[in-house]
């Protein structure tokens, strides 16, 4: 009987450390202020050209957090305010801003030429990059990123506007989709969430 008890005691003592090895400590829950898209299976990549004429894809920016906005240069409201907001975000981040890349993807490939994007986008911050493609490439990227855009006719053929999704996607430094930033919330929530992603 004593031998049986001794064997049971040894078995319990031996099992204790093994049980502990299998348990992983719970990861702290990240509290984003913007919409958390972590784990969703879309917005994987794009194939576009930047405002210097260089072909670009998402992997080019690995190692940086990426904020990606879809708009157009003749947009009267959402686009300039979003770009100005991102300019304020970069200023608020200070030295951390060097780890952030802002991308402006045009949904108006007919009018937004490379030269126009080169003038418009870096005017907000010289590090910002404008991206464009053919109408077919633009449609493919919009589909991949679940972005809506549609022409609204104007008084003349070239005076149309473009209705489009008013928000930005944020990717972490590994290129994974993490956040959707709604338009008009101000810089503070974006600064807060980018700091979480960068640390």
CATH number, domain of 98, equals: 3.40.30.10
Query: Which of helix, strand or coil describes residue 70?
Result: strand
Domain span at residue 161 reads 48-198
Cα distances (angstroms) measured from residue 168 to each of 19, 25, 66, 105, 155: 44, 33, 10, 10, 30
Q: Is residue 98 part of a domain?
A: yes
pLDDT at 21: 45
Does the residue 111 lie in any domain?
yes
The reply to whether 79 sits in an annotated binding site is yes
For 97, phi then psi, to 5°, come to: -65, -20
Is 183 labeled as ligand-binding? no
Which two three-digit tokens encode residue 198? Answer: 């960068």
Q: Which of the residue ranges 1-10, 76-85, 94-103, 182-191 would you say has the lowest mean pLDDT?
A: 1-10
pTM reported for the whole predicted model: 0.83
Residue 51 assigned as binding residue? no
Q: pLDDT by residue (tens digit) across 10-60?
A: 443 444 444 444 444 444 566 999 999 999 999 999 999 999 999 999 999
**Residues 67-87: tens digit of each pLDDT:** 999 999 999 999 999 999 999
45-50 contacts: CB < 8 A, separation 24 or more? 45/144, 46/105, 46/131, 46/141, 46/144, 46/145, 47/133, 47/137, 47/141, 48/105, 48/131, 48/132, 48/133, 48/137, 48/141, 49/114, 49/131, 49/132, 49/133, 50/129, 50/130, 50/131
pLDDT in tens, 103-153: 999 999 999 999 999 999 999 999 999 999 999 999 999 999 999 999 999
In a domain, 161, yes or no: yes
Integer CA distances (angstroms), 66 to 51, 113, 114, in order: 17, 23, 21
pLDDT of residue 184: 87
Q: Is residue 18 part of a domain?
A: no
The total of structural domains in the chain comes to: 1
**In-domain check, residue 186:** yes
**Residue 116 domain flag:** yes
Residue 74: inside a domain, yes or no? yes
**Within-domain flag for 175:** yes
């Amino acid at each position: 009987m004593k031998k049986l008890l001794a064997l049971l005691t040894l078995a319990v003592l031996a099992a204790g450390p093994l049980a502990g090895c299998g348990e992983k400590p719970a990861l702290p829950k990240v509290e984003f202020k913007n919409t958390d898209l972590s784990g969703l299976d879309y917005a994987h990549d794009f194939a576009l050209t930047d405002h210097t004429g260089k072909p670009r894809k998402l992997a080019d920016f690995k190692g940086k957090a990426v904020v990606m906005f879809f708009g157009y240069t003749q947009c009267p409201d959402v686009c300039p305010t979003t770009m100005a907001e991102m300019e304020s975000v970069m200023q608020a981040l200070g030295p951390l801003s060097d780890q952030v890349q802002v991308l402006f993807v045009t949904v108006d490939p007919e009018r937004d030429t490379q030269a126009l994007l080169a003038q418009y986008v870096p005017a907000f911050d010289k590090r910002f990059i404008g991206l464009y493609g053919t109408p077919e490439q633009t449609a493919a990227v919009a589909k991949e990123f679940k972005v809506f855009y549609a022409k609204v006719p104007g008084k003349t053929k070239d005076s149309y506007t473009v209705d489009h999704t008013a928000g930005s996607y944020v990717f972490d430094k590994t290129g994974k989709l993490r956040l959707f930033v709604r338009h008009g919330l101000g810089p503070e929530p974006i600064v807060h969430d980018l700091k979480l992603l960068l640390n």
